[in-house]
Amino acid sequence: MPRIVVERGNEKGVSLNLDGADRAFMVGRGSKSDLVLTDFLVSRNHFHVEKAGELYTISDLGSHNGTYLNGVRLQCEAMLCVGDIIRSGETLFSFLSDSQRNEGALAGQKLAGYHLLSRIGIGGMGEVYKATQISLGRKVALKILAPELTADPTYVQRFLSEAKAAARLNHPNIIGVHEVGEDNGIYYLSMEFVEGGSVQDIIAGETKEMPVPRATEIILQAARALLYAEKAKIVHRDIKPDNLMLTSSGEVRLADLGIAKRVVDGKADQAEGVFGSPHYMAPEQARGLPLDHRADLYSLGVTYYRMLTGKLPFTGKDAREIMEKQVFDPPEPLHKLKPDLAPSIYYVMDRLLRKRPAERYPSAAALITDLERAIEEIHAGITASQKDKEKKDKDSGSLRRNTSRRERKQHNSNFFRRFFG
């Protein structure tokens, strides 16, 4: 009997068996759904899969953000086939038969000198497989570009050129890229295989939060990777927990440089559109403005906030609402959620989450210095006094709320119309 398996998202690994009598199986945030999700971008009744004998169809239920089947937004009822990929909000599903192991359609096959073992991830660009490079006998992560993307020659060219640029990067906190190529119309990227999973895998579990010392050490290592990228004049544009991978020994590897942009004349343009994840996106990125390394520092700050508190600073019913909050609204002050952290952590968070790039850290180097001080304070058991916390609340609130109502109105008409119509 077929089933839907969550491949990416807060409910990763959860499956919904589509067995029993003919009926519709509901997926959404509503408590009465057959598969209940906690993705803020998913509607209460988002989509359903209808069983009619041996046939299965999928329909969007008027959701705010739409349902996508193999990368195409559903406009009407569509037939489901084993191996199909479904996306709602930031959650990805695969449609599998009961006898089919969750290893991906290409598992067991050979591709360009690689033996594909099992699928280990799905993203917006395609699938990632654990594979063996036959010539060297080493384990690699092999990213396979999604078929719907290979139909666009411009996208394929950008994928190849950016992968080659990533292959030139060499840093202990950045996932190494081995090669990029094509075999019988299938485009692939061979990368270092990291066994420990991602930070998202940890915080998506029951705990939600990470211990403060471990979270701070992870952010410190990620900052070192960003300093290297900054010196190489590369802006990542999609820093988030999913892209902070952990080795079996706990070391951090920054992943997914596939949408990175090279900085020219101090800025990376967004001429081809706004990329990134709305929950982690810097204000200037949400506005479609040229970017530099300080956008990545903002996203790292949101990631740190999520790791420490177990919650995102901004949520909303859709990407537009979240991006608008990134531009205009201050997050709930960290000390109100976690009142007994090391003083330097509050300072670091305040600098990282400033709305204006000029008020953030000028470089990841300065951030690294403050994170190292924070770790020293953690080990020494130093925490902020209540008086300091109250002062930080007053100061950070006035500094972060630095966009007027007039600017908000002008921004809504000029920028969001450009991207959302």
- CB of 35 closer than 8 Å to CB of 25: yes
Exposure letters 121-159 (e unless 16+ CB within 10 A, then b): bbbbbbbbbbbbbeeeeeebbbbbbbeeebeeeebeeeb
Taken in order 105, 109, 115, 117, the sign of the CA dihedral is: positive
Rounded to 10°, the helix 343-352/386-400 angle is 0
Which residues does residue 73 pair with via DSSP β-bridges, in sequence order?
Answer: 68
Distances (CA, A) of 407 to 50, 354, 401: 47, 16, 12
Q: Which two tokens stand for residue 230?
A: 């900054």
Q: Is 183 a catalytic residue?
A: no
Residue pair 227/363 in contact by the 8 Å Cβ criterion: yes
Q: Which is it for the CA torsion 224, 205, 316, 307, positive or negative?
A: negative
On whether the CB atoms of residues 185 and 112 are closer than 8 A, the answer is no
The Cα–Cα gap between 126 and 114 comes to 17
Q: Which of 39, 60, 84, 238 is catalytic?
A: 238
Catalytic residues: 238
